[in-house]
Amino acid sequence: METRFTSKDNLTFSSGPIHFNFEAAIITGACRSGKTTLGNILGTCSNIENVEEPWTAKLLPLMTGLGLMDEDIGKEMFVAYITELYIETIFLRRANFRPQDLSCIWAQKDHEEVYLRLTELNTRLDIKKYTEKNNPLLLLNLTEVVPFLKFLFESMPKSKLIYVIRDGKDVAMDCLHKRWFSDKQLLSPIKALPYQKYVYKNNIWHLPWWINSGDEDLFISYTEYERCIYYWCQTVESGSKLVNKMIAKGNCLNVYYDDLIKNTLDTTKLATEFLGSKMTPKTEYAIAKLKLRAFKKPNQEVIIDKNLKDRYIKTQDKLCF
């Protein structure tokens, strides 16, 4: 007897829209902009659940935006995934219990809250009741998604955005120290993201997906630092129009890195008010710890390609530094 399955046109990820009954927000920006620092602080605030870089949440908009997946299916999968992620987060199944890490659950939630979740939340019905009582907000800390913000906010239309901004040269210097765009990384990448295979001088290069078509040789010819500047320009430029539209609508907050470091308390208050939350004693402790960290202004006296420098200046000017 032949086994027949339903048509793929009739398939849908129904569970996501049905059970997406919680608040969500996204915090994003270029890498090394201070997103993780801000996210860890906000994770200490009342009923904010900070989730650091969930791989699937950034891969689905990326794959859809690059045309590797049907857009409608991608959005349905995204909402279904976010719903499951929320449940796992409230259950503390994804929690980091390593005391030395800044994202440790003990640094973000008090012991009573952790114990309650570990012992009293056992079923999805428990999660539903917990949500109705506490109204938690799932804060998704995402990288690599700025060009695809439209996808994210069409999938979660009532969500808010916190966009973290840092001086491009400072971002580039931090990225340089990470060696993310070194020849070694481009020839043998370790990040689990899509790459363009590109043959250059008899080598196969794995170029980041965000490089403009036609810029491949130029990008490879750049110094490591110039590649980092190029990355920052690509990221900021790709999201500027939508970010400005969202700011006009009142559902986006820009946070500047320098404000976060120099005026951490005021910046945190601004962000918590925007998200409809409030600070806790854990928040005050996290802010005090941040003040003890040493932040040095990177050395920015680096000569770069003139055209790239002009592009950097134009992009920087748009951010009102």
Domains in the chain, please, with CATH? 21-166+239-293+305-318 (3.40.50)
> For residue 143, which of 57, 19, 44, 233 has the smallest C-alpha distance?
57
Name the token pair of 46. Answer: 């009342």
| Predicted confidence (pLDDT) per residue in 33-91, tens digit | 999 999 999 999 999 999 999 999 999 999 999 999 999 999 999 999 999 999 999 99
d(CA 49, CA 140): 8
pLDDT digits (tens, 9 = 90+) for 116-166: 999 999 999 999 999 999 999 999 999 989 999 999 999 999 999 999 999
Does residue 321 have a pLDDT over 50?
no
Q: CB-based burial of residue 200 (10 Å sphere; 0-12 exposed, 13-18 middle, 19+ buried)?
A: middle
Sheet with 23-28: list strands edge to edge.
48-52, 137-141, 23-28, 160-165, 252-256
User: Percent of the chain beyond pLDDT 90?
Assistant: 81
> So what's the pLDDT on residue 185?
97
Which DSSP letter does residue 27 get?
A: E
Residue 7's pLDDT band (cuts 50, 70, 90): low
Bridge partners of 294, per DSSP, are: none
12 pLDDT above the threshold of 90: no
